[in-house]
Amino acid sequence: MPPHAETLGKARTAADFAAVIALLDTDLNDAVARRRELEQAEDRAVFGDGDLAAARAALDGCNDAIALLEKTICLADTRRIDAAESEARADIAALGDEIAAKAVALTGRWRNAARLVEVLRQELFEADALVRAIATANGLFDAAGVAELKVNLTTTRRAAMAGARAAAPARLSRAGLQADRLLLSFLSPGGALDPRPALGAPVAGVKTKFIPASNTIPAIKPLSERG
């Protein structure tokens, strides 16, 4: 029976066969070293130092063992390659199943994203109508001299959109980054829904400061009027 035949028979994976091959290689190296010793013993027996027939029989047995080891290693390596290829095919098949499942999950994510975008659009339509109604009312309050009734749209909008932000993953595609920036522009100060107020307009309750008349820059007289 070949050395490690039982272990070789139980091997199933490429790693199992590689472990058996390592054991067989060790045995082969020991057998090759033993053959050198037997060759030297045969040489001595030829010149009368020892039993020549026994030396040659031992050497023949060692050569047979080496040939068997080499044959077994070759067989084990063939089976190792077959097992590795089978495992690679199984890995590819498993990856195919995994990707198919991820494709289904992706379809669900896109469907949810599309639904949320439509919900967002509807909310923005309603918000825009309310902004226009409040802006019209603010104009009426100014005309009626009751500015204290006005609603500061900038303050209201920024307060409503304040809060925690979802952390973006470390790895995000270029398209994902662009979409994230677009969505954040709806929430960030100065973004798509929060344009900068007109110059001099009150922001968050801060009133415009006017320069007193005494601090105005005097007009420059023409040369003909100068003394």
pLDDT digits (tens, 9 = 90+) for 127-166: 999 999 999 999 999 999 999 999 999 899 989 988 888 8
CA-CA distance, 204 to 154, in Å (whole number)?
7
Ramachandran bin of 193, using left for φ above 0, alpha for ψ from -120 to 50, beta for the remaining angles: alpha
- Domain range enclosing 15: 5-90
Please report whether residue 177 resides in a domain: no
Dump strand ranges (E) for 95-168.
Answer: none
Mean pLDDT of the chain: 85
CA-CA distance, 16 to 26, in Å (whole number)?
16
Please report whether residue 65 resides in a domain: yes
Q: Count up the domains in the chain and report the number.
A: 1
Amino acid letter at 159? A
Give 62's pLDDT tier (boundaries 50, 70, 90): very high
Bridge partners, 206 (sequence order)? 203
pTM over 0.75: no
CA-CA distance, 49 to 36, in Å (whole number)?
17
Please report whether residue 202 resides in a domain: no
Terminal Cα distance for the chain, rounded: 129
Three-class DSSP category at 95: helix
Predicted confidence at residue 193, as pLDDT, reads: 83
pLDDT at 63 over 70: yes
